[in-house]
Amino acid sequence: MLGFVARRLLYLVPVLVAVSLLTFLIASLLPGDLAYVILGDQATPEKVAALRHDMGLDQPIWWRYLSWLGHVLQGDFGRSFRTGQTVLQAVTERLPVSLELMVLAELGALAIGIPLAIACAVRSGSAFDRFMTGSAFGMLSVPAFLSAILLIYLFAVELRWLPATGYVPFGEDAIGNLRSFLLPALTLALGEWPVLMRVLRSDMIATLQEDYIAMARAKGLKPSRILLVHALKPSSLTLVTVTGINIGRLIGGTVIVESIFALPGIGRLLLGAIFTRDLIILQGMVLFVACGYVLMNFVVDMLYAVLDPRIRHGHA
Amino acid sequence: MATLELSIDQDVAVSPIRRTRRLGPLFWAAIAWMSLVFAAAALASLLPFSPTDMDMLERRAPPSALHWLGNDGLGRDELARLIYGARISLTVGLCAPIIGITIGGALGMLAGYFRGRFETLVVGSMDVLLAFPPLILALAVTAYLGQSILNLTCILGVLGIPAFMRVARAATLTLARREFVIAAQALGATHARILLRELLPNVFLPLFAFFLLGVAVTIVVEGALSFLGLGVPPPISSWGSMIGEGRESLEIAPRLAFIPAVTMFLTVLSFNLVGDTLRALTDPRQGAL
């Protein structure tokens, strides 16, 4: 196991270097000179040249990349020229909100998806199964911003049960905090559960045809025990992978949902940086999010290996 | 023991999903809806209404004989905006996956056929592209390049390359070991001939099924970007921006958000349905969803 972890960690290094390079190149090669953005359209060429010199923009590109990378490795992702806040400060301030949203959304998706998948697998081919598979397929075609609008209309405009926007910090009011997260998390969960349900259902149907399940039935074990103890774990391999793959989609969804429900998370910060053309925050955040995403995928890979020993021994 | 095995085999033999070759009414309904949207988008310029003409007296007016779907918050004809929006959604939705299928498909086939260092390089660089959450990368690049339909199409096209590469490579890997390819090699066919005449026709169908799913995803991402105000620049109408504008008046005129929302949902669903049906037909694995 240790060797496997080491090998995977070693593979991370070139990926992370390439990610940083690509982030840097997007920011440096694409049009939009930082000095002009900071000084505005009215700036004189002399002023622009002076600022470019101060910021090191007149250095060769490889030198700029290396010095930028050096700063990043020391934890210095840059500083906003509008608010003066460092990228790290801004991100750590907002990360808890986004993480809470993503965890709640994923829990919600699992809470909807797993029971439905088991229920469908047990009676595969029945009317219930066909209805649920059909609905899951339909739900896959509903983008997050559509379900968000539908939920706002239903629960905030018509029924007036929940707030449409607004955020209450957990420390101030735990219930209010969960209430403000309910609709956003549900929005994301509605997009996630069909994927989870589809893979778990088809894996579960395959597992239920295995000999050892027949054996467990013959021993007279309770059906609930067979399903939850004997069949669920071996069927959940693809589920774990898909959960990992979906983190990327979830991050994208977080941006949209945070913007709709006015939650002060990473996504709002990113959009704000784009609208105010705060390019340093933007560059730092893209790198930060991409690295976080790569690391999360690494953790999912590890989980996968814990569930299925064949993978860490390379027999898969 | 023998009888037991026999009975299990029979059990399994009965249960597999019946693979009907008939496509079903849903499939044809999806095709019909797609044709309708295509026709509307193609004939948009024949409309008697412009999607940008404002009539301030008719703001959020309900549907009438003159304006079939009513007017939006700026008094513009909702139906005209919907139809012109279909143009944008379809242009971006079709062109971006075409970029993806061309570059990704070619890279995937070459990687799957030649293997070796080239394959490692291609797969590795795609891994880097996949290391970015797609929407984040799209947002960041749009922020630098500026908002235009061309930029949007290119970005979304590039983002689709890794997925098409994987599908093409996986299909090529299995096909390249088949007898007809070995036979062609034994006959002295060139690499180009094998790739184009032997492999391409076989790789194309799964790739095309995936293309339709790609169209659905692209329409959604374009909608999301326009919804956030970072897609096509105003006053061009797009379904995403219409939904975004409709959100402002959800309490007084929910129709303005729901009409483009339903249109978009039906279109995405149609592409998903047709793509998934084709994929299931071309996927040799049994019980594929």
pLDDT the model gives residue B106:
92
Is A200 within 8 Å of A136 (Cβ atoms)? no
Chain B nearest-CA distance from A227, in A, is 19
pLDDT the model gives residue B283:
65
Looking at chain B, which residue has its C-alpha nearest residue A125?
B17
Question: Among B130, B144, B150, B225, which would you mutate to test the A interface (most chain A Cβ atoms within 10 Å of its Cβ)?
Answer: B144
Is B208 within 8 Å of B229 (Cβ atoms)? no
Full 3-state SS string of chain B: CHHHHHHHHHHHHHCCCCCCCCCHHHHHHHHHHHHHHHHHHHCHHHCCCCCCCCCHHHCCCCCCCCCCCCECCCCCEHHHHHHHHHHHHHHHHHHHHHHHHHHHHHHHHHHHHHCHHHHHHHHHHHHHHHCCCHHHHHHHHHHHHCCCHHHHHHHHHHHHHHHHHHHHHHHHHHHCCCHHHHHHHHCCCCHHHHHHHHHHHHHHHHHHHHHHHHHHHHHHHHHHHHHCCCCCCCCCCCHHHHHHHHHHCCCCCCHHHHHHHHHHHHHHHHHHHHHHHHHHHHCCCCCCC
Query: Is residue A81's pLDDT more than 80?
Result: no
b/e for B171-183, b at 16 or more Cβ within 10 A?
Answer: bbbebbeeeebee
Q: Which 3 state secondary structure label does DSSP give A85?
A: coil
CB-based contact B136 A31, cutoff 8 Å = no
Distance between CA atoms of A279 and A295, rounded to whole angstroms? 24
Distance between CA atoms of A31 and A201, rounded to whole angstroms? 48
Is B221 within the bounds of a domain?
yes
Instruction: Extract the tokens encoding A78.
Output: 């840059």
Task: Give chain A positions within 8 Å (CB) of B144.
Answer: 26-27, 30-32, 279
Pick from B171, B168, B161: which is nearest to B126 by CA? B161
CB-based contact A251 B133, cutoff 8 Å = yes
Is B248 within the bounds of a domain?
yes
Write down the residue that tokens 């070796």 correspond to.
Answer: B116
Is B39 within the bounds of a domain?
no
Is B12 within the bounds of a domain?
no
Inform me whether the C-beta atom of residue B182 falls under 8 Å from chain A C-beta atoms. Answer: no
For residue A79, the 8-state DSSP code is: B
Instruction: Tell me which residue in B128, B227, B230 faces A15 most closely, judged by beta carbons.
Output: B128
Per residue in A237-290, pLDDT tens? Answer: 778 878 777 777 888 888 889 888 888 888 888 888 888 877 788 888 888 888
Distance between CA atoms of A281 and A77, rounded to whole angstroms? 8
Model pTM score: 0.83
Is B18 within 8 Å of B280 (Cβ atoms)? no
pLDDT the model gives residue A31:
60
Write down the residue that tokens 């105003």 correspond to.
Answer: B234
Other beta carbons within 10 angstroms of residue B256's beta carbon come to 25
Instruction: Tell me which residue in A149, A252, A277 faces B247 most closely, judged by beta carbons.
Output: A149
Region A15-42: mean pLDDT is 74
Size of interface A-B (CB pairs under 8 A): 137
pLDDT along chain B (289 residues), means of 10: 41 48 80 89 75 66 67 72 87 92 92 87 84 83 82 90 89 86 88 87 86 90 88 81 82 81 91 86 55
Q: What is the ipTM of this complex?
A: 0.81
Number of structural domains chain B divides into: 1
Is B93 within the bounds of a domain?
yes
Question: Among A16, A22, A133, A146, which would you mutate to test the B interface (most chain B Cβ atoms within 10 Å of its Cβ)?
Answer: A146
Tell me, rounded to whole angstroms, the distance of Cα A123 from its chain centroid. Answer: 33
Is B148 within the bounds of a domain?
yes
Per residue in A152-167, pLDDT tens? Answer: 888 888 777 777 777 7
Looking at chain B, which residue has its C-alpha nearest residue A152?
B250
Least confident of A29-43, A226-240, B73-87: A29-43
Is B92 within the bounds of a domain?
yes
Chain B, window 23-52: residues with a beta carbon less than 8 angstroms from a chain A beta carbon: none
Question: Among A23, A28, A145, which would you mutate to test the B interface (most chain B Cβ atoms within 10 Å of its Cβ)?
Answer: A145
CATH number of residue B226's parent domain:
1.10.3720.10
Instruction: Tell me which residue in A141, A259, A274 faces B269 most closely, judged by beta carbons.
Output: A141
Question: Among B128, B221, B226, B249, which would you mutate to test the A interface (most chain A Cβ atoms within 10 Å of its Cβ)?
Answer: B128
Per residue in B13-32, pLDDT tens? Answer: 444 455 555 677 888 888 89
pLDDT the model gives residue B99:
94
pLDDT the model gives residue A307:
72
Chain A nearest-CA distance from B270, in A, is 9
Pick from A120, A123, A122: which is nearest to A133 by CA? A120
Task: Give chain A positions within 8 Å (CB) of B268.
Answer: 141, 143
Instruction: Tell me which residue in B135, B258, B269 faces A138 most closely, judged by beta carbons.
Output: B269
Pick from A83, A113, A88, A271: which is nearest to A195 by CA? A113
Quote the radius of gyration of chain B (alpha carbons, Å): 24
Domain span at B193: 85-283
Indicate the length of chain B as a whole number: 289
Is B76 within the bounds of a domain?
no
